[in-house]
Amino acid sequence: MAATFFGQYLQIKGIVGRDQLRAALSYQLQRNKSLGQLAVESGLLNTSQSSQINLRQRDTDLMFGELAETLGWLSAEDVETLLERQRLEHMTLGQALVESGCLSEAKLQDLLADYHYWNTRNQRECNRRVAESSLAPQVDGFTYLLGRQLQRVFGLRSQPSYVLAKRPLALPEWSWRLGRESAVALVGVEPAPSFMQTLAERQSLVRAMELVGQGRYHSIYSADINAEDFFNRLLLELADDSQLEVLGREAKLGGPAKESLCVGYSVEGEPLQVYFCAA
């Protein structure tokens, strides 16, 4: 179960309030230990080795355990033991809500069953609408990179929550032209104020964790990066992966778009809206 999406479902249904959800997510984050923390606690690594692996993760997509094996500091058996301990000690959002008195165990089980049906149906519809669009490569690439980099930098999870055939009246302030001269797509990012607040709060938490040696979210995207620069780097990475170019920032639509999609993402239950327009 992805905690952030279950939390969004609970908010939509009016079962928990925003403050209750944030408190439970914070409690869950503090309770769940990284593989590096568990390795140090078990005496398999020292703090210096754990920090070095975290730093190397800034430049690779390898997991902590994979890097530790590559460096010869942990065996495959060590990593498997640590992962099993991490799995057994892992606290879900539902458990955090039960422990805080927001839900009973019986109520949680009923909600989980309904959530899985609701989420599967919603994701199937989003995937269908994207697959039918000529903008599918840009949307799929952006969705993948957004999920990966938000998780790596801030420990935030994201997924599409709706897809609409909708053209913006005006491009958002953060918009880019992507492609080649013969085939150009416009990508406009429109974060809600609550999304920006969540990002700022998570930045503060990540910095605090790094100061006490518990950092777990590392990448070439620094946790100190501002939101606009984060998306600018994400678009550059999307262009590079697609063998395209970022042709520049865009301030307005230069005429009717051939096709437009509005994709809404849920990030820790907070909305992020992105427009994709074939120009």
What is the per-residue pLDDT for 257? 59
Instruction: Identify whether 38 is part of a domain.
Output: no
Do 206 and 221 touch, CB atoms closer than 8 A?
A: no
Helix axes 136-154, 227-241, angle to 10 degrees: 130
Higher pLDDT, 251 or 155: 155
Closest-CA residue to 78 (of 105, 125, 113, 44):
44
Higher pLDDT, 195 or 242: 195
Mean pLDDT of the chain: 83
Q: How far is CA 259 from CA 70, 180, 269, in A?
A: 46, 17, 28
Number of domains in the chain: 1
Per-residue pLDDT reduced to its tens digit, 220-245: 345 557 788 889 989 998 988 877 77
Closest-CA residue to 20 (of 114, 112, 96, 118):
96
Higher pLDDT, 152 or 164: 164
What is the per-residue pLDDT for 1? 41
Per-residue pLDDT reduced to its tens digit, 242-262: 777 787 776 666 655 578 999
Instruction: Identify whether 150 is part of a domain.
Output: yes
User: Comparing 8-17, 27-36, 252-261, 267-276, which segment has the lowest mean pLDDT?
Assistant: 252-261
What is the per-residue pLDDT for 262? 93
CATH code of 255's domain: 3.40.1550
Which structural domain range is residue 276 located in? 134-279
Higher pLDDT, 225 or 51: 51
Per-residue pLDDT reduced to its tens digit, 57-108: 766 778 899 999 999 999 999 999 999 999 999 898 899 999 989 999 999 9
Instruction: Identify whether 143 is part of a domain.
Output: yes
What is the per-residue pLDDT for 11? 83
- Residue 185, beta-bridge partner list: 178, 278
| Range ranked top by mean pLDDT from 170-184, 203-217, 242-256, 262-276 | 262-276
**pLDDT over 70, % of the chain:** 86
Do 272 and 195 touch, CB atoms closer than 8 A?
A: yes
Instruction: Identify whether 229 is part of a domain.
Output: yes
Closest-CA residue to 36 (of 70, 87, 75, 79):
79
Q: Reading across the β-sheet that carries 270-278, which strands appear in turn? A: 158-164, 259-267, 270-278, 183-191, 174-180, 245-249
Instruction: Identify whether 251 is part of a domain.
Output: yes
What is the per-residue pLDDT for 52? 86
pLDDT band at 219 (very low <50, low <70, confident <90, very high): very low
Do 112 and 118 touch, CB atoms closer than 8 A?
A: no
Instruction: Identify whether 154 is part of a domain.
Output: yes
Instruction: Identify whether 82 is part of a domain.
Output: no
Per-residue pLDDT reduced to its tens digit, 2-15: 555 788 788 888 99
What's the pTM value of the predicted model, to 2 decimals? Answer: 0.67
Instruction: Identify whether 14 is part of a domain.
Output: no
Across the range 147-176, mean pLDDT stands at 85
pLDDT band at 129 (very low <50, low <70, confident <90, very high): very high
pLDDT(218) > 50: no
